[in-house]
Amino acid sequence: MEIKGVCIKYPDNNISTDLIFPGKYMAILEPEEMAKHAMEGLDPNFVEKAKGKDVVLVVGRNFGCGSSREQAVTALKHSGVKAILAESFARIYFRNAINEGIAAIEIPGITEKIDENDELIIELDRGIVRNLTKGTEIQFKPLPEFMLDIIRSGGLIEYVKKKISSGQ
């Protein structure tokens, strides 16, 4: 499975779920409305940067720390984020991302290897990020097959529906 997108980069560490999706918007239930506030606590211009693009976020350490709010993943997914390459993730955020169908990949040193607006192709099965802008490749440890199946299905709910309908 390949994911192609343009990089939007936040090399900061400890980007919390409140920065990704501010708590004052927790009453919003529609994913498309959530997307209008994605990353608002960190970058009020994120929605405009992401508009009409397939986005690969490149972020620092402990991305998604703070709380288990799933809205912080939903907002990114519906704003065009297809994958997140991080130095590291808060564990709950990592799992929420996979469950929503966003590829969450830990790559130590990633913020030093990719720049804003670089065009990327992520080969999930092979564990390779190809930077088309720089002509470079970065290796990563591929996700386990069951996580890749969840991402390929578009998230955990769709994955379970497919399993049930196939009798597995």
Which residue, among 159, 158, 151, 164, has the nearest Cα to 1 in the 3D structure? 151
User: Quick one: tokens of 141?
Assistant: 């440890």
Confidence bin at 166 (pLDDT 50/70/90) = confident
Lowest-confidence region among 46-50, 67-71, 153-157? 67-71
- The share of the chain scoring above pLDDT 70, in percent, equals 100
User: How does DSSP classify residue 155?
Assistant: S
In the 8-state DSSP scheme, what is residue 77?
A: H
How buried is residue 142: exposed, middle or buried, by Cβ count under 10 Å (0-12/13-18/19+)? Answer: middle
Residue 145 has pLDDT above 80, yes or no: yes
In b/e form, how buried is each residue of 61-84, taking b as 16+ CB within 10 angstroms? bbbbbbbebbbbbbbbbbbbbbbb
Task: Give 131 or 165, the one with higher predicted confidence.
Answer: 131
Residues paired with residue 86 on neighbouring β-strands, in sequence order: 59, 106
Q: Domains, the chain, ranges and CATH?
A: 2-165 (3.20.19.10)
Mean pLDDT within 2-31: 96
Q: List strands edge to edge, sheet with 2-10.
A: 103-106, 81-86, 55-59, 2-10, 119-123, 128-131, 136-139
